[in-house]
Structure 1
Amino acid sequence: MTAYAIAHLYPEGRPNDEVIDYIERIQATMDPYGGRFLVHNSPVEVVEGAWPGAVVVLAFPGMAEARAWYASPAYQELVPLRTRHMAGDVVLVEGVAPDYDPAATAAALRAAGGAAPVAQRP
């Protein structure tokens, strides 16, 4: 199942040399794990709520590869180049199967007596 690394970043001004170095080097850290960019440096069109900052979406063949990439020494060496200059949130999440049916999920939730409580925003 495809897994995604999603980052919501808050850049502080124009990218400096360290951030540019990070961008130049990140793909090489992803290649051994089958990672690729799906969204990078694209304008965000907010249609609900607020979304300050930028979004990055990476795809990996599965959660094992996404976790291994994030924990890899090659990527961890790069992380400070980004985090010293921009705050943000990064999550790893597994996608759904091609035949995913949200109506089946809703039916299962109804049968179980409703959904589990939703986590509140911090």
Structure 2
Amino acid sequence: MSAYILVQVDIYDNEVYEEYKKLTPDSLIPYGGEFVIRGFPVEAIEGEWKHDRMVLLKFPDRQKALEWYNSENYQKAKKIREKGSSANFFVVG
């Protein structure tokens, strides 16, 4: 069964975040991951949205999603992301 990682991002340094965005696509490939949503703005039609960006990633299964998140390549990208933003990651499925 497919699994998804939903990410809420608050960006405070766009230049650093752009560096991170360049690294993420290639890190997904070995795990069968793909972007479903990658962008902003997000408009809340019910409730509230208080973040700058939403990303939704799709993986073949939960194991692959978690392997990607914990992979050496993504952890390198994550260190860059943390210099320019804060984020919440959720795995579903």
Could you tell me the TM-score, scaled by structure 1's length? 0.71
Aligned length: 92
Which AA in structure 2 matches 1:59?
Answer: K
Q: CA deviation at 1:47?
A: 1.1
Instruction: Show structure 1 runs of 4+ deviating over 2 A.
Output: none
Deviations 1:77-104 (A, max 9, x none): 110111121112111111xxxxxxxxxx
Identity %: 29
State whether structure 2 residue 22 is matched by structure 1 residue 19: no
Q: CA deviation at 1:32?
A: 0.2
Q: CA RMSD in A?
A: 1.2
Q: Equivalents in 1 of 2:10, 2:23: separation in Å?
A: 20
Q: Which has the larger radius of gyration?
A: 1
Q: Equivalents in 2 of 1:64, 1:42: separation in Å?
A: 28
Q: Which blocks of at least 5 consecutive residues in structure 2 are unaligned?
A: none
Q: Which residue of 2 aligns with 1:87?
A: 86
Could you tell me the TM-score, scaled by structure 2's length? 0.91
State whether structure 2 residue 62 is matched by structure 1 residue 63: yes
User: Per chain length, whose mean CA-contact separation is higher, i.e. which structure has more relative contact order (CA < 8 Å, sep 6+)?
Assistant: 2
- Bigger proportion of residues as helix: 2
Q: Which blocks of at least 5 consecutive residues in structure 1 are unaligned?
A: 95-122
Q: Equivalents in 2 of 1:36, 1:58: separation in Å?
A: 6
- Bigger proportion of residues as strand: 2
* Equivalent residues of 2:11, 2:17 under 8 A apart: no
